[in-house]
Amino acid sequence: MQEFVPQSVQELIDLLQVRAESCYFRGQSNNQWVLNSTLARELRGETTYLPRDYIPKEPLETWTVQNLLNYHKIILSRWEPTEELLNYLAGKGDPYLDIIREVQQEKLKPKIHNAIPNHPTPTIEFSNNPSIALFFGSNGIFEKDKDGAVFCLDKGSILIESSFPFALSRMKLFGEIRPCAIISERTTNDLGNPKPKRQEAVYVFQRDLRKPIDHYLPIEKIVIKRVLKAEIEALLGTQGITDEYVYARDYGR
């Protein structure tokens, strides 16, 4: 992974602006965090949200493509799309994507029934907007004593799938395990939940849970030095990119 360490806020902004049209962006307040989905972290024992009978006993590195495919099907089956959701989408969207978006955006109070609180998902969230990624990379609430980062994923390097079933079909037919972006033709969450829209969220499906997504995709890391975080946060605030805006805490007032 190519790494840049800008020494000033302006240098950092310039690096992002050059990539604004060609990349998806992910901000992390600790630049050392690996680019794994919450499900991949769960399988590594970094979290313990899933019932233990959902954690295979075989070491993750011994899994085959068929093992991965079977496991993704099991995890997706944890969510049953409601009849209301299926009727709304009318075949023009992926209900599993909407459920996963809901689970990721509303971990504590999802509108769609979720049997397991904070259910880990096989997706890792990026954004179309570099300013949103910069917000998450410089947010002073988490890891404020660590260098953050914005990860830049070249849009041209990642396959776009319209649904999880299509992505799984490609795994089955061709053994395809590279990450792909799931971008459905139609979604419901933006109607009742402004957070995905404000965050301009893009969901990358980590088909191979054995490897972080940068194992397969060309990703650049732009480090946010900890001494710059406060200045960046103040600059974003003047642009309206605040905690209240990004998390839609002002919505419905």
- Residue pLDDT, tens place only, 156-212: 999 999 999 999 999 999 999 999 999 988 877 666 678 888 889 999 999 999 999
Percent of the chain with pLDDT over 70: 92
d(CA 194, CA 174): 37
In this structure, the strands spanning 219-224 and 201-205 are unpaired
d(CA 186, CA 192): 14
Domain boundaries, the chain: 2-246
d(CA 170, CA 148): 35
d(CA 175, CA 159): 14
Q: Which of the two residues, 37 and 246, has the higher pLDDT score?
A: 37
Look at the pTM and tell me if it is higher than 0.85.
Answer: yes
d(CA 158, CA 220): 14
| pLDDT above 70 (res 82) | yes
d(CA 157, CA 147): 27
Mean pLDDT value across residues 73-93: 83
Sequence letter at residue 26: R
pLDDT at 30: 92
Mean pLDDT value across residues 124-132: 96
Mean pLDDT rounded to a whole number for the chain? 89
Q: For 227-239, write each residue's pLDDT tens digit.
A: 999 899 999 999 9
**Cβ(124)–Cβ(36) below 8 Å:** yes
Q: Which of the two residues, 144 and 23, has the higher pLDDT score?
A: 23
pLDDT at 191: 60
pLDDT at 197: 84
